[in-house]
């Protein structure tokens, strides 16, 4: 299904033809974005790579503005709790894993894998008070080396399991999970960048994979896919630069980047990008870089990656972070003028507006 540009409301900036730019004014989109500064609830988010969680030690993180403790129970299953002991507010991430539960370091209160308190040492262990005390827990799943948590608006369970990208667990696809903490970049600014193929040959000029382009005049095509994702890409150009992205509302993307022969056999590189807000001003971005290769081709690419390709990747990422942090959060919204090539951004905003309206309509 094609998305007509008539459905997309571009920001009009009257008065720019006369030479003098108009004074900044508040962009109506800003009100919507500020509602979701800490994420859109009732969705799954990638919160941590599996290899960053030890078997025997809890880890404290912040995601969607919430302090969380991530740990593994006696069976090795991942658990995610609010990182606050309900006794006196100490961080449970400073505690210890013991007998399949998590014990607070401060006074020894212990919680089972579901968040139920089952021991208060000063009260003799299990007691009437412990049965009344729980710590908030989050639904969690683990797929392809990433830990996903579900953030509900009202503590209700997820309606469906985590719909993770199929490449994460396919034996035909191999690659690397690259972690990026983008300080000073709100999560929606990061997604603006990911749904904007036009920036590739300009921002990333001279880099290993993103230097080529057929021309500077581009028409962006937006169409809805059968799985409700959105294709956003250049008309008449494929695998020359960052030419398309596939957006899965609200927080992940699939894209292919051309890889030259010097990157070894295997064709283009597929990148699955999963974005998670940390707070209103920063986000965690997981870029899962994969190629459809196995056996010796995978081992050769792995060697080339560690020897020289990873370094080339960081050049591109550093450019993204530099330009996105220069936008100063939501300040840039009051100065923007969208054009046809921003159709992907306009489509994403349309989806968030609909989510905001649905939230207001909910009884």
In a domain, 6, yes or no: no
| pLDDT score recorded for residue 149 | 98
**What token pair was written down for 121?**
């040492």
44 secondary structure, DSSP code: E
In a domain, 33, yes or no: no
Would you say residue 183 has pLDDT above 70? yes
29-63 residue pLDDT tens: 999 999 999 999 999 999 999 999 999 999 999 99
Whether 144 and 223 share a structural domain = no
Whether 305 and 185 share a structural domain = yes
Looking up residue 70, the CATH number of its domain turns out to be 2.102.10.10
Q: How many distinct structural domains can be found in the chain?
A: 2
269: number of CA atoms within 13 Å, CB side? 29
| Boundary (domain end) residue, out of 127, 151, 175 | 151
Q: Choose the most confident range, by mean pLDDT, from 5-9, 93-97, 206-210.
A: 93-97
Does residue 233 sit in helix, strand or coil? Answer: strand
* Residue 241 pLDDT level (bands cut at 50, 70, 90): confident
> Residue 234 and residue 133: Cα distance in Å, rounded?
55
148-168 residue pLDDT tens: 999 999 999 999 999 999 999
Whether 111 and 134 share a structural domain = yes
In a domain, 81, yes or no: yes
Looking up residue 217, the CATH number of its domain turns out to be 3.90.380.10
* Residue 98 pLDDT level (bands cut at 50, 70, 90): very high
- Domain with 245 in it: 166-357
| pLDDT score recorded for residue 3 | 57
Whether 145 and 273 share a structural domain = no
257-314 residue pLDDT tens: 888 888 998 889 999 999 999 999 999 999 999 999 999 999 999 999 999 999 999 9
In angstroms, the Cα distances linking 140 to 79, 152, 211, 253, 354 are 7, 12, 40, 21, 27
In a domain, 4, yes or no: no
Whether 67 and 121 share a structural domain = yes
> Residue 214 and residue 277: Cα distance in Å, rounded?
35
In a domain, 18, yes or no: no
How many other C-beta atoms can be found within 10 angstroms of the C-beta atom of residue 297? Answer: 16
- Closest by CA position to 82, among listed 145, 7, 155: 155
- Answer yes or no: are the C-beta atoms of 130 and 123 closer than 8 Å: yes
**What token pair was written down for 99?**
């007998």
Would you say residue 116 has pLDDT above 70? yes
Whether 316 and 195 share a structural domain = yes
In a domain, 53, yes or no: yes
> Residue 259 and residue 244: Cα distance in Å, rounded?
15
Whether 226 and 130 share a structural domain = no
Whether 47 and 130 share a structural domain = yes
Whether 132 and 274 share a structural domain = no
* Residue 13 pLDDT level (bands cut at 50, 70, 90): very low
| Residues sharing a CB contact under 8 Å with residue 331, sequence separation 6 or more, in sequence order | none
| pLDDT score recorded for residue 18 | 52
Strand order in the sheet with 96-98: 96-98, 101-103, 110-111, 117-119
In a domain, 305, yes or no: yes
């Amino acid at each position: 299904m094609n998305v007509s540009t008539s459905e997309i409301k571009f920001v009009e900036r009257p008065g720019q033809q006369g030479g003098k730019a108009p004074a900044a004014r508040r962009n109506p989109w800003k009100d919507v974005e500020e509602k979701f500064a800490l994420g859109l609830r009732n969705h799954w988010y990638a919160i941590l790579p599996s290899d960053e969680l030890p078997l025997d030690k809890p880890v404290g993180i912040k995601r969607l503005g919430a302090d969380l403790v991530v740990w593994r129970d006696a069976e090795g299953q991942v658990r995610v709790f609010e990182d606050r002991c309900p006794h006196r507010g100490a961080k449970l991430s400073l505690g210890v894993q013991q007998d399949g539960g998590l014990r607070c370091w401060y006074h020894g209160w212990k919680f089972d894998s579901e968040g139920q308190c089952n021991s208060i040492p000063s009260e003799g262990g299990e007691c009437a008070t412990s049965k009344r005390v729980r710590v908030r827990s989050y639904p969690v799943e683990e797929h392809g080396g990433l830990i996903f948590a579900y953030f509900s608006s009202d503590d209700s369970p997820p309606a469906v399991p985590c719909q993770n990208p199929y490449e994460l667990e396919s034996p035909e696809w191999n690659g690397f999970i690259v972690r990026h903490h983008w300080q000073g970049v709100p999560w929606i600014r990061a997604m603006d960048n990911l749904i904007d193929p036009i920036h590739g040959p300009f921002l990333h000029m001279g880099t290993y994979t993103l230097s080529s382009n057929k021309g500077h005049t581009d028409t962006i095509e937006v169409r809805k896919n059968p799985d409700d994702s959105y294709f956003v890409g250049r008309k008449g150009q494929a695998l020359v630069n960052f030419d398309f992205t596939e957006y899965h509302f609200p927080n992940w993307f699939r894209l292919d980047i051309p890889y030259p022969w010097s990157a070894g056999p295997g064709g283009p590189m597929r990148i699955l990008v999963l974005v998670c807000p940390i707070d209103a001003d920063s986000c965690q971005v997981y870029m899962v870089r994969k190629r459809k290769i196995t056996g010796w081709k995978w081992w050769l690419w792995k060697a080339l990656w560690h020897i020289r390709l990873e370094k080339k990747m960081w050049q591109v990422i550093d450019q993204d972070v530099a330009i996105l942090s220069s936008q100063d959060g939501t300040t840039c919204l009051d100065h923007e003028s969208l054009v046809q090539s921003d159709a992907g951004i306009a489509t994403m905003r349309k989806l968030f507006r609909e989510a905001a309206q649905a939230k207001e309509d909910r009884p």
